[in-house]
């Protein structure tokens, strides 16, 4: 009997949102995404500790930023030995408001991959969807370094990414859902806000329809899911990056899974074209309390985990 994970594969590119290699082997995603939080979680497990120790042994005298990037690339290389597609590797969140530093860090990461004979076509550089991060991506894409813009919570962010010719955007379903649920408090009605009515689902749907209506090549990858209902409501999206727990739930579910998002539907009901520049981007983002707050919060959280990852590297012994 077929299950929803297989049905989803027929509609959408399935991506694993994890740093755990065994999960990838079990569920066989096409791509995989990582972030500082996932790498921090993985590297504290005994199975992955040798990757950190190897970086310290071989590159302990290098600057800490290089050691961190070598650790990220070590995880990426292991992942690419499992998945047939791409891996997303994130630039330090502390650089989210520094365009030039983000460009330089991305070039360093790609250089490490290429030195290991990994073609850049198999790597997506993740950057926060700040104005500065999007401009960094514009430069990188022009150099053939493909980018995944993360911490994306609004259509204005997505449109700016499209104008920068970014390869892929990752709107965060679950974090949008979290904000609206918290804001509603006791008035929140879970059943009424489920599926296509989920505010996170609606945000991704809006971005997908806009991109498809205007033949924008930037891919849309829904991310940060809280339940499989959110995933089911986005079946047909270009890509969906899914945690191990929810991959397991999809693999256990045998209900039918129809496409919810299609190019034909998007073109049949095209939204109004939106012009964008830096002033419009900053103004519209500022007007969206949810997007403003979740972008700032996401950068803070990823920064905190990046600092913890730094500390782990510093504390690890340098073997002779």
Q: How far apart are CA 87 and CA 73, in angstroms?
A: 10
CA 268 to chain CA mean position, Å: 29
List the alpha helices (DSSP H) in the chain.
Answer: 4-9, 21-27, 36-43, 49-59, 64-80, 99-115, 131-142, 155-163, 173-184, 199-213, 228-232, 244-252, 263-268, 278-287, 289-315
* 42, 69 contact by CB (below 8 A): no
Asked if 126 is an active-site residue, the reply is: yes
CA 37 to chain CA mean position, Å: 12
- And the tokens for 69? 């990037």
* 59, 320 contact by CB (below 8 A): no
Tell me the pairing of strands 147-152 and 239-242.
Answer: unpaired
- And the tokens for 279? 């002033």
* Bridge partners of residue 87, in order along the sequence: 32, 123
115: which residues sit within 8 A by CB, 6+ positions away? Answer: none
Three-class SS string for 139-169?
HHHHCCCCEEEEEECCHHHHHHHHHCCCCEE
> Which residue is catalytic, options 41, 126, 182, 294?
126
Question: What torsion do the CA atoms of 310, 59, 21, 151 make, to the nearest 10 degrees?
Answer: 40
- And the tokens for 248? 């397991």
* 16, 23 contact by CB (below 8 A): yes
Q: How far apart are CA 87 and CA 77, in angstroms?
A: 9
Task: Give the active site residues.
Answer: 126
């Amino acid at each position: 009997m077929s299950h929803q994970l297989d049905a989803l594969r027929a509609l959408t590119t399935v991506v694993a949102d994890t740093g755990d290699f065994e999960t990838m082997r079990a569920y066989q995603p096409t791509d995989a995404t990582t972030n500082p939080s996932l790498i921090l979680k993985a590297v504290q497990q005994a199975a992955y500790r040798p990757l950190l120790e190897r970086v310290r042994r071989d590159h302990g005298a290098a600057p800490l930023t290089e050691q961190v990037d070598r650790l990220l690339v070590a995880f990426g290389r292991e992942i690419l030995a499992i998945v047939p597609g791409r891996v997303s590797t994130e630039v330090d969140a502390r650089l989210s408001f520094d365009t030039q530093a983000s460009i330089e860090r991305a070039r360093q990461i790609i250089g490490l991959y290429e030195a290991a004979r990994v073609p850049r076509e198999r790597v997506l550089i993740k950057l926060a969807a700040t104005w500065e991060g999007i401009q960094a991506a514009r430069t990188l894409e022009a150099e053939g370094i493909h980018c995944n813009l993360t911490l994306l919570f609004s259509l204005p962010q997505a449109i700016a990414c499209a104008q920068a010719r970014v390869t892929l955007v990752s709107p965060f379903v679950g974090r949008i859902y979290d904000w609206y649920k918290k804001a509603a408090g006791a008035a929140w009605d879970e059943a009424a806000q489920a599926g296509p009515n989920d505010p996170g689902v609606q945000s991704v749907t809006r971005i997908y329809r806009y991109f498809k209506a205007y033949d924008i090549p930037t891919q849309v990858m829904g991310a940060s899911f809280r339940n499989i209902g959110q995933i089911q409501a986005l079946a047909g999206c270009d890509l969906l990056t899914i945690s191990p727990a929810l991959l397991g739930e999809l693999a256990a579910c045998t209900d039918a899974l129809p496409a919810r998002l299609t190019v034909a539907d998007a073109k049949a009901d095209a939204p109004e074209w939106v012009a964008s520049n830096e002033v419009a981007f900053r103004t519209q983002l500022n007007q969206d309390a949810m997007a403003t707050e979740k972008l700032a919060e996401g950068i803070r959280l990823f920064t905190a985990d990046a600092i913890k990852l730094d500390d782990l590297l510093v504390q690890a012994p340098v073997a002779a």
